[in-house]
Structures are given as structure tokens and as C-alpha cells.
Chains A and B, each alone.
Chain A
Amino acid sequence: MGTKQYKGIERKQARWGFAFVVPSLVFFSVFNFYPILNAFYTSFYDRRALSKLKPKFVGFGNYVRLFDPARAANPLSFYNSLKATLTFTLGTFIPLLIVSLLLAILISNLKSQKAKRFLQISYYTPAILSSVVAATIWMLIFDPRGLGNQWMNLILNTPGVDHKWKTDPVMLQVSTMLVYFWKYIGYFVILFITGLATIPQTIYEAATIDGANKSQTFWRITLPLLKPTVVLVSIMAMLQCLKTFSTQYMFYTNGSTRAPINVITFNIYITGIQDQYLGRASAMSVVLFVLMLVLTLFQFRTTKSGENIDY
């Protein structure tokens, strides 16, 4: 009798819980799930943005075209987009992960609350700046007559040298990485600070009593106990980097050459919006989706994130 009554309450609660979840489920369906399904569907058709004609079914034609080796020589090909995306992701996500962790530890160990808050706000501010403002700031810095060259020439004692932040293919990639790093470092620092705050102080006290030094405390206590946050941040940072678009768009519209920074999302934009090949752009987005899925699964496997941390 008691069990039956319990089930009735549980069902009633579940119904209400479900009622609260439905709006967000509908929102997700309309704005996320439907576009994903639609992209899969469209990727099998030759669909043009402005055409009123029924799209022609091409099967895997769009995918075959993306991976056609004959097109690899063109610097604007999908092959080179894959290369540009991987270069950008590796060059940004690893420094983001390491530096944000180090900064979080530095900030967490500060005694002064004022200094802590000031640094948190300082690092986080770029993340909430609009892309237009960020673009204006960085384009002024990277202008040949801008602060970028002035600072570099002062540091390296090379007066009058143009470091070609926006034109040299390698420097251009480095510049986009720098901008992205600046914009998102604060976000990941905050995540790490939150993760660090969940580690009980008593563990550190016990370690100190046992005679552990700072290095041992970091490698034997902080890092292992921070593993769930590290996994979360590394996956989020990697996915963010794979999705990068506005930084590359900003450089391109300010005169930089496209090939070195033609990441997949930017290629999708040019192919779908400018060149109007929606089917082809959808195939690119499906490839990006699969790439993100595979890399995320790989990271989950290698870090074994399923392990729970018990204190």
C-alpha cells in the first residue's frame, strides 16, 4: 500500500518536472535539433540559397567533392580548411588549458580578496566584449603602424620592422590564436577557480602536516582532484576552438588573406552564404560535427572522465 502511494507521488512529481522541462525541450528542438537534422538531410542535395527549384538529390556527391584529392592543391579547398582548423585548435586549446589552469591557481592562492576579484574581472572582461569592439581593438594593434609592431620592435630592438601580423601566413595564424586566447582565457580561468574551490581545504592541511611541499601538493593533490574540471575545460576549449569563426572573419574583412585562416566554419560561411551552395556547406558542417564528436569521445576515453572523485 505504502509503495503504491509512493509511486503515485513520484509520478505526480515527475509529471510536474516534465512540464517544466518541455519548454526548453521545444526550444532545443526548434533551434538546435531541427537545424542539425536539416543539415544532414540537405547535405545529400544540391541546394542553392536563392533557387526556388526543388533541390537535386546527389547522394554522397557533396562529401565526395569535399574529399576529392584533385582539389587539395587549391589553398581554399576543404582539405586545407581541415588543416587550418587543426592547426588553430592545437595552437589555441593547449595554451588555453595550461595557462588558464596556472592563472586559476595563482588567483586562488592570493590572500587579498580585492586582488582576486580584480584579476577575475580583468581576465573575464574580454569574454563579454562584443566581437565588433574586440575586432576594432585588435585591428588597431595589428595595423602595420599599430602597437603590435611597436611593442615587438621595442622588445626585440628591431626598429622599423613590420612583423606582418595580418599578412604573413604563419604570423596570421599566430595572430588569430592570440586574439582567441585573449578573448576566452578568462572564461576558463573562472571554471578552474570554481573547480579549485570544491577541493576541501582539509586535504591540503593534511598534506602540509605530512610534510608535502608546494610542487608535491600540486601534482599529487590539486591536479588529480581537479581532473573532472580539467576534462570539462579541455573538451569545452577544444570544441570552442573547432567552432571558431568570428576571429577569422574579422581578419579576412580587414584585408588578410583567407587560405591560412580558412577554418571549416569560415569555409561553411563562404560556401553557404556567399557562394550559395547550401548542400555543400551542410556537408562541411556534418563533417565538422563528426570531427567534434570523435575528438570528444577520444578525450573522454583517454581521460576516463567517468571516474568519480570522492573526498
Chain B
Amino acid sequence: MKKSVYFILIIALLLPAAIFAAGAKEQAVDETKPVTIVYWTHDDAARTKLENELIEKFQAANPHITVERSTRSAQKQIELVQTAFAANEGPDMFNLPIENQYAYITNGRVAPIDYVAAGFKSKQDMLDKYMDGILDTVTVDGEVYGLPLELTNWAIYVNKKVFASAGLDAEKDYPKTWEQMADVSEKLVIRDGDILVRRGFDFRYPYYLIMFVPMVEQLGGSLLSADGKKAIINDDAWIKALTFMQEWGPLGRNLGSTTYQAPRYLFNADNNDIAMAHTGLYQEGRMKTENPKFFESDDWMVVPFPVFENAVKDVASAYYGHFFMVNADSDPAVQKATWKLIGFLLSHGEDYLTRGGNLIQPTKALLASDTLKNMPYSEVFINDMARANMVYYGSDSAEIQTQIRNAVESVMLSGESPQKALATLRSAVQEIIDERH
């Protein structure tokens, strides 16, 4: 009896190893068989409606292809895609912010574009159709690994009524510099003791690579040296930017903080609780849905990302992209079908702009279109993009952003000195990039 008990116990304990070892077997290639594309993306009601409609058309034209589209929150999408790929169970098609997606290219997880399947005559034909340089982001060793679902930058939305209620004229008094932003916010803010009942402006925490690093760059600093080997360039610039954030927070002038509700969620309601929000062109679509009266009114406008008074560089908030990519481990027939689907979806750029969540797909045709030019304040976004950099998107970008977040929050919320926070930041980021090299 004892022996049989031990035998069954050993089998039971070793069983999982056998199951997991058998996980990675190769699949046979058969391009004629019906294929199913598993497509994972993040929530966006307007885009979901449009894509479901387009996918239905695509399936009707390609009866052997079935598309299984599923959505989840943007944060969950980042975690789920990575966990699935780590277990070799990634979806056939997915999109992520480029700062999270780039590691999939460098780790050989995604397949290069099948230009013909995606609807282009050649690689050059594809490059000619997109904004110059935009595909460099997803090009490694001459191969292009993704096509942009959206390219987004943020500018400052202004509620003119809130300005007027504080005796300001938004058209004239909107802040052009960060110093003015703090002073104007001081006039706009309403407090109940220490508690902010109305804010003038507040930052878009915790997207520090997108909004804080450009502020440092305006002052002549940068995250990394030109060769990418040294972290935190120009201490004065970083200390000035950190000091500005310290002054902004609850331990300084108390103009905003990380734990109040994000301004972009408050702005559309027009409830006299926020005057300015830092967000993208897509906000217009959301405003139109959530508060059409406010959207149609003349009570809001969009202005450029401010610069410091003594800025040495005119840099706007960084832009970022979401790219469609295809799993390199998917069956070749599925990969081909997926690039065909991506090509089909992206051939409807104007639909994505007008009714798919106001997304800008950076094709030359769309950027030159009247549809984009006729959207309210689209010129502000286009001009800001021209003076902006792509967000830092190395494979370690999430880790670096966490360290910047820690530095900013330690000065804003814990009262640490900018010098000490900078020293900790430098040591942490240097270690991260040293490990990469």
C-alpha cells in the first residue's frame, strides 16, 4: 500500500511538469483552412463601435476569416498581453502604447509587416504613405514591425466660463508659461481650508515621460545622454522642474495633487471644478457624447503646452503611439490574415478620426485632409506635435517612468528636497540603463 501511495503521489506532483513541458509544440501551416484572429485591444466605446462594424464588413468579404475582438481597460491590456506572451499564449493581434510595446520587437515576439497582405505594393509604398519618420519607431534592422492605430499628443483644454468667473479673459489670460500657469491657477482655485474645491489646472499624473520630461527638456535637461549611456543630464534643469512640482503640490502653493480626480474626467461635465485639463484631440469626441451642449458652445478652447519663462528649448508635451502588431508565434496563415485585417482597418483613417474616438492615424493623406483641419482646434495639436518629441520608448521605459514618479511624488507629497530626490533618481535610472547595456 505504502509503495502505491508514494507512486501516485510522485505521479501527481510530476504531472504539472509534464503538462507544461508539452506546451510549446509547433503547429502545421495550412493557408487554405479557415482562420481565427484573436485581437486584444483596450476599451474605447467609439472605436469599438466602428471596429465591430468594419470587422463585420471584413468578415463578409473574407468568409474564411473569423475575428475575435475583446477589450479591457488600458492598464489591464498592458498586463494581460505581457502575461499571455510570457506564457507563449499571446493574441494574434494587439495594440499597446509604444513605450510598453517596443520590448515586444526587441524580444522577437512580433512579426515584421507583410506589406502585400496589408495592402501595400512594397515597403517603400508603405513608407511613402506615412508621416516621415513615424515608422522608424517600430523599425529594427530594416524591418518594420507595426502600423500606427493612433498617434496622440496632448494640449491644454480651457473652460472660458471658469476663467470669466475669476475675472479673467481666457482668450487673453490663458497661460503661455509654467510660471503663468501657477499664477493663473492661484487666481482660479477655490479652497475650503486646505481642500481644493476648484482647481485651475492639474497635471496628468503619472504620465511623467509624456508631460514632465518635456518640461525638463525645456530647461535644457534630458533623461539620457545622446549615446544613451548616462542618466539625468543637466542637474539644474531637473532641480528646477522638481522644485516647480514641489511648489505646485500640497506642501507648496497647493494648486493640485496626485490624488484628486483627473482633470480630463471632470472637464466635460463643466461643473465649475476644473478650469484647464491636459488631454488629447480625442477629448472632443468624448465631450460631444457626454455634454453636447458644452461641446457646441463657445465656452471652451484649446491652447498649446506652456514653456518655462527662461526655457532654452521650445518643447511641447511628448506624443505617443499605439501600434497594431502581430504575434510572431501565430500560424503563418493567421499572420497573413491579420496583416490583411490591419490594412483594412487602417484604410478607414477618416472614420477613426470622425467617429472612432477622434484618433489621428499619421498617414500623409489624413494629416493633409480637410477632415482633420476642420476639427475644432486641430491646428493646436498639429502645431504642438511639430515642436514635440516622441515619448521615450526603450524597453525599460515603464521602469524609468516609475522612478521619475517616485522622485516627483517624494518632493510633492513627502517633502523631500529636489536635490535628494534627484540623487536617488539618477542612481536608479543609471542602474536600469547599465543593466540594458
Contacts and interface: CB of A to CB of B under 8 A. Distances in A.
A161 interface: yes
Contacts of B410: 75, 257, 259
A21 to B, nearest CB: 9
B414 interface: yes
Contacts, number: 126
Interface in B389-437: 396, 398-399, 402-403, 405-406, 409-410, 413-414, 424, 427-428
B12 A26 contact: yes
A75 B79 contact: no
B406 A75 contact: yes
Given A144-B195, A167-B259, A259-B410, A75 B13 contact: no
Interface string A146-168: 00010000000001111010111
A206 interface: no
Contact of A162 (B15, B19, B193, B261): B193
A143 B261 contact: yes
Contacts of B13: 29, 33
Interface residues of B, number: 51
Given A33-B16, A161-B194, A258-B406, A273 B250 contact: no
Interface string A10-47: 01001000100010011001100110000000000000
Decide if the interface of chain A is mainly helix, strand, loop or mixed: loop
Interface string B78-98: 010011011000000000000
B128 to A, nearest CB: 32
B424 A73 contact: yes
A49 interface: yes
B398 A167 contact: no
A29 B12 contact: yes
Among B12, B103, B191, max chain A CB count under 10 A is at B12
A143 B266 CA distance: 14
Interface string A222-233: 000000000000
A10 to B, nearest CB: 9
B282 interface: no
Given A22-B12, A76-B428, A253-B75, A14 B206 contact: no
A25 B5 CA distance: 12
A304 interface: no
Interface residues of A, number: 46
A280 to B, nearest CB: 11
Interface in B61-114: 75, 79, 82-83, 85-86, 103-104, 107-109
A161 B107 CA distance: 51
B317 interface: no
Nearest to B328: A52
Given A143-B259, A144-B259, A257-B410, A34 B86 contact: no
B260 interface: yes
B260 A144 contact: yes
B405 A258 contact: yes
Contacts of B428: 74, 76
A214 interface: no
A167 B75 contact: no
A254 interface: yes
A270 interface: yes
Interface string B255-271: 00111110000000000
A248 B413 CA distance: 17
5 contacts: A33-B16, A52-B109, A76-B402, A144-B196, A257-B406
Interface of A: 11, 14, 18, 22, 25-26, 29-30, 33-34, 48-52, 73-76, 142-145, 149, 159-162, 164, 166-169, 253-259, 270, 273-276, 278
Given A162-B195, A257-B258, 15 more contacts: A50-B85, A50-B86, A75-B410, A75-B424, A143-B260, A149-B195, A159-B192, A160-B192, A160-B194, A162-B193, A167-B413, A255-B259, A257-B406, A259-B414, A275-B398
